[in-house]
Chains A and B, each alone.
Chain A
Amino acid sequence: MLDNILTMKDITMQFGGVVAVDNLSLEVNRGEIVSLIGPNGAGKTTAFNVITGVYAPTNGAVYFKGNMITSNFPKGSMKKLYAGQNRGVYTTTMRKTPDQITKLGVARTFQNIRLFKELSTFENVLIAKHMRSKANVFSATLGLNYKEERQMREETMKLLDILGLVEVKDEVANSLPYGQQRHLEIARALATNPELLLLDEPAAGMNPQETDELTSFIYDIRKKFNLTIFMIEHHMDLVMDISDRIYVLDFGKLIASGTPAEIQSNQRVIEAYLGVQDDGEE
């Protein structure tokens, strides 16, 4: 049975005249691994930013587990500039902030790693536990929430253990090798107890061996944490290997969607990538 966890409906995101995402509709079902691919500048990261509430879309709506988390229609100066269709379809405007969306169960990593650079590995993960803290600022200052604090630390240790980051738990995030920084970003995202994990180019900057290991790593965390994964990736081997379904963006428009086999033989996709099978972007 297919159970919808994420739905984007008619999402258009314009920055002035630049249409970064053009009328994009897609769905991700519970338990799936879905990939979003496309050439550089296709609008993939922008789509993630709309889902996580970083940007308010120009038009369209996003649903998480059937509940609307973002909805908008062209207004203000966008009313004149709006380039998409579906102008009159969405009439409500609502937008949850990124922290609210994270609390609902959507976690993400960033394309250009955004760790808390000067904090330790341990603190990086521990911070993600803050939002579930029930203590107010006074009781936390006076240490009255010591039970909760201890539990937060234990959970963090457990997570670091699972992700193989225990040895570097006291190292400053900035000093970690690149591959470990990517792992730490994922650890930090997992610490928010997500149901849906958005990975923005998890293999970027990894060496071939690390990229190979990533496949089993992603399967692993999906199973352990009961996750649905929506991923942007340029490494075609990885994408074809791991994805249940794939969406392809080009110039903000959805040009194809389907299983890896369908995508590989899709003429428009091949054209968009100019016949290059493995983009291998660094």
Chain B
Amino acid sequence: MSKIRKSIYTAILAVIIIALMFFLEANKFRFGMAYTVIQKGLILSVVAVSMNLVTGFTGLFSLGQAGFMAIGAYVTAIFLIPADGMAEVYYISGVNPSIMSFKYWLESGPAWVQSMYPILALILGGLVAAVFAAIIGFPVLRLKSDYLAIATLGFSEIVRAIISSPQLDTITNGSYGLKKIPGFDSLFETFAIMAVCVLLMVLLLRSTYGRAFRAIREDEVAAEAMGINLSRHKQMSFIIGSFFSAVSGGMLAMFMRSIDSKTFSVSLTYDILLIVVIGGIGSVTGSVIASLLVTASKEWWLRFFDAPLYIGNFQVPLFRTGFRMVIFSVILLLVVLFYQRGIMGKNEFSWDRLSLRVRKLLGGRKRGAKNAR
């Protein structure tokens, strides 16, 4: 396929996505479900890609995503909740005075700076998580894969426990969680933030550092013999991954408008892991596609299974609240058993690949064009 043709297709695709975005924005009440699902899918795709960066591309089996998301979410939320709403949110134990003075200082800034606060909040959340990642990464990244998974999972739970501990009532509002978090202005804003995050990670993966990460994934001993400092690069990947997990957590806080520590339980990490596996471990586009698909099926398409179903007078058993999660787990099981490589395997989306697939589907066995990579 010629380069020009590919760029035309890409441009068309971009126009369609943007048009869809504006259409949904204009009709968000009529297509509320699609709107919400796409927004959440976009947000989860940031954390899914970040997990892929760490697990799929660097080979570090880390399960700490929910913990880093929680850090990002809380920092973002505390930053963004309007100062005069704070008393209402922290009505039980009050707000820490230094947070309050920080917020008043924030609100004295010029208007154009204030309009940047959501972005600043997300970045700040990411940076705080990155600091935590640097601290725990030092001891934890020496562990081999399964131990690393256990340790990071433990970290994630510790973060949750600390957030909800009564000692931090005046900062995190303990187990009551945070409310009144300002949301996104538009779906387009969510999309733009997600696109920048994913683009940065893609550029990183394509750079010489990305190659070093993949070398580590493929063979640590050989990578080290090629002059790659293992601990430095693992640490780097882990910190950057945690940064973007936290950004995604902050976005989730803005999306949900209210959060508490239970939002970031192990099951969230499990959901993200699912997305990464279904999309293809080692594929960025796979993670993005799977985020949208998994979110849509979990929260929308499979809802059908949660409502009681009658055929004539006969109520079909099993169809009741929670059944969709069973179906969902079965789908996951099937994917893991029969379709391990996920939607994309380790490949990225490309028009060549797509046209090859389409041609195969149509039965045209013209050229045995070999795997492009």
Contacts and interface: CB of A to CB of B under 8 A. Distances in A.
A188 B222 CA distance: 10
A110 interface: yes
A242 to B, nearest CB: 23
A237 interface: no
Interface stretch (B5-13, B15-23, B44-52, B207-215): B207-215
A205 interface: no
Interface residues of A, number: 41
A191 B222 CA distance: 13
Interface stretch (A34-42, A94-102, A159-167): A94-102
A118 B208 contact: no
Given A103-B227, A128-B226, A170-B373, A54 B221 contact: yes
Nearest to B224: A98
B204 A141 contact: yes
A120 B207 contact: no
Contacts of A120: 373
A145 B208 contact: yes
B331 interface: no
B208 A99 contact: no
A127 B224 contact: no
Interface string B219-262: 10111111111100000100010000000000000000000000
A52 B225 contact: yes
Nearest to B222: A114
Contact of A127 (B221, B226, B230, B371): B226
A116 B214 contact: yes
Central interface residue in A110, A114, A172, by most chain B CB within 10 Å: A114
Contacts of B229: 97, 99, 131
A140 B233 CA distance: 14
Given A119-B215, A120-B373, A149 B208 contact: yes
A200 B198 CA distance: 42
A66 B215 CA distance: 31
B286 to A, nearest CB: 15
B227 A116 contact: no
Contacts of A137: 204, 207, 209, 236, 240
Contacts of A132: 227
A131 B228 contact: yes
B226 A192 contact: yes
Contact of B211 (A97, A118, A126, A143): A126
A90 B278 CA distance: 55
Contact of A130 (B211, B236, B240): B211
Contact of B227 (A99, A110, A145): A99
A277 B24 CA distance: 79
A199 interface: no
Given A54-B221, A98-B225, A135-B208, A142 B203 contact: yes
Chain B residues touching A, majority SS: helix
A151 to B, nearest CB: 11
B224 A99 contact: yes
A182 to B, nearest CB: 14
Nearest to B215: A127
A102 B208 contact: no
A133 interface: yes
Contact of A140 (B209, B214, B223, B224): B209
B146 interface: no
B200 interface: yes
A44 interface: no
A107 interface: yes
Interface in B96-130: none
A117 interface: yes
Contacts of A143: 203, 207
A235 interface: no
Contacts of B208: 126, 129-130, 133, 135, 140, 145, 149, 152
A34 to B, nearest CB: 20
Interface of A: 52, 54, 97-99, 102-103, 107-108, 110, 114-120, 123, 126-133, 135, 137, 140-143, 145, 149, 152, 170, 172, 188-189, 191-192
Given A130-B215, A170-B373, 11 more contacts: A97-B229, A99-B229, A115-B218, A115-B222, A117-B218, A119-B211, A127-B211, A127-B228, A131-B226, A141-B200, A191-B226
13 contacts: A54-B224, A123-B211, A127-B212, A127-B226, A128-B227, A137-B209, A137-B236, A137-B240, A140-B204, A141-B203, A149-B207, A172-B373, A192-B226
Q: Which 8 A-B pairs have the closest CB atoms?
A: A131-B227, A116-B218, A140-B207, A102-B227, A114-B222, A98-B224, A141-B204, A127-B215
